[in-house]
Amino acid sequence: MKMLIGGEWVDGEKTIPVRDPFDNSVIDTVPSATAEDIENAIVSAQHGFQVMRKLSVHERSQIMYRTAEYIKARHDEFSEILTRESSKTIREASKEVRRCVNTLIHSAEEAKRIFGQTIPFDSFPGGENKVGYYFRFPIGVILAITPFNDPINLVAHKLGPALAAGNSVILKPATVTPLSALKLAEALLAGGLPPEALQVITGSGEMIGKILVPDERIRMISFTGGLEAGKKIAGMAGIKKVGMELGSNSPVIVWEDADLEPAVESCVSGAFWAAGQNCIGVQRIYIHEKIYEPFKQKFVELTKKYKVGNKMDETTDMGPLITEGEAIRVEKMVNEAVGLGAVCLAGGKRNGSVYDPTVLEKVPENASIHKDEVFGPVVNLYPVKDFDEAIAKANSLPYGLHAAIFTKNVNLAMKAAYNLECGGVIINDSTDYRLDSMPFGGIKNSGLGREGIIFALQEMTEPRVVCFNLPEKI
């Protein structure tokens, strides 16, 4: 496939292979962008912004609706491409494509609700003859940098609100999963998006980032990815808006009154969805000591039933990690924990890029798999006896994206909601729940700002005050 620059599909002298992580076969190739390509993209995006900002709300909204319909009519095609280039099974990919459609429809709807408000200027002496209001306007060229784990819906979460608000976008998709993003760009053009409003650049993230991130013509950076990359971007960005979702190490509390069956099923799914490569995936589970053993038994039993293998098989529960290198990284983290005293209850084995769903207990707090984001199919179990202890342990790491609690006690649920340090508390479901319209983001090392369409629209627009000084009071 080709890059999209200046409304044209552009090849490159050098190309990068896109591989299926399951068998390492080459699916396609994409160009490796040059500095000249990047400059052309910036210039085109500037022109694209001038076009987008002059479109009516109705026109921008209809583009989103038509794009959603285009993807919906080609659901199977989009699902297969997503499955081939990523870690997701065909069932997981199908769900993501449906979510992408919903994200675009919601963007179309929220484009009509970018409201302003009147301002009571006469609330302070000297303002008696003044009337006015504020409205929100698009900010300009937005750089969107997206990860491999949700290669179409996370792209839609950046493009949908940015374009619906009247901005233009330069998109840098993950190097290993660019095809879904390019297909989404194709859909947007088919939906009537002005050709220069969207640039999609493929190639080395480090090289592209070094040029684009500090460029003053870029007015906002929307980044989803790892903490270290986020720190580099923050240090390079200069004076511009920055929104970041940087991952987590999500804790779940399972209290003694919880319904075990749904809690186990939800947490197993939350731990191993997309091979655990999920920023809100379940990583630490704090279980009341009275139910620790039965919870552990049921959890391990269900984990061992997980079918791992061919992503295109509808009966497969979990596919590979995105590369063999990532599987080796997870393997090293597990082996380190076991060497420090952790006990492996299930999994713990690697076959190429596939790492079996793995359950650990007695994980020392100095183990990297306890302290860091694993971003793989590994979950740690811990017994606790006191609710305040559970809250403290859940809050003990420098992350704060999602947390969850299973309990029938509404008072404990409310206590958790107000004391867990994170962007979202999920009650009686795992941390791996996200509605595409809710505010999504974290605190501490989990990021800056919020996504979710209406909240992203606020981030991707600016308020402008209009004040009339009248000759006499009306």
Active-site option among 85, 245, 331, 361 = 245
* Helix or strand holding residue 98 (H, E): helix 90-110
- Residue 314 falls in the annotated catalytic set: no
Is there a contact between 305 and 268 (Cβ–Cβ < 8 Å)? no
Task: Decide: 79 and 93 in contact? Cβ < 8 Å.
Answer: yes
CA distance 340 to 342: 6
29 CB burial (10 A radius; 0-12, 13-18, 19+): middle
d(CA 356, CA 334): 11
Query: Which of 85, 279, 361, 459 does the annotation list as catalytic?
Result: 279
Cα(354)–Cα(364) distance, integer angstroms = 25
Alpha-carbon distances of 319 from 20, 23, 93, 325, rounded to whole Å: 11, 11, 11, 15
HSE-CB of 49 using CA atoms within 13 angstroms: 23
Mark whether 289 is an active-site residue: no
The answer to whether 204 and 38 are in contact (CB under 8 A) is: no
Tokens linked to 328: 């080796």
The side-by-side arrangement of strands in the sheet containing 424-427 is 343-346, 358-361, 378-384, 282-288, 250-254, 402-406, 424-427
Give the residue numbers annotated as catalytic, written as ranges: 245, 279
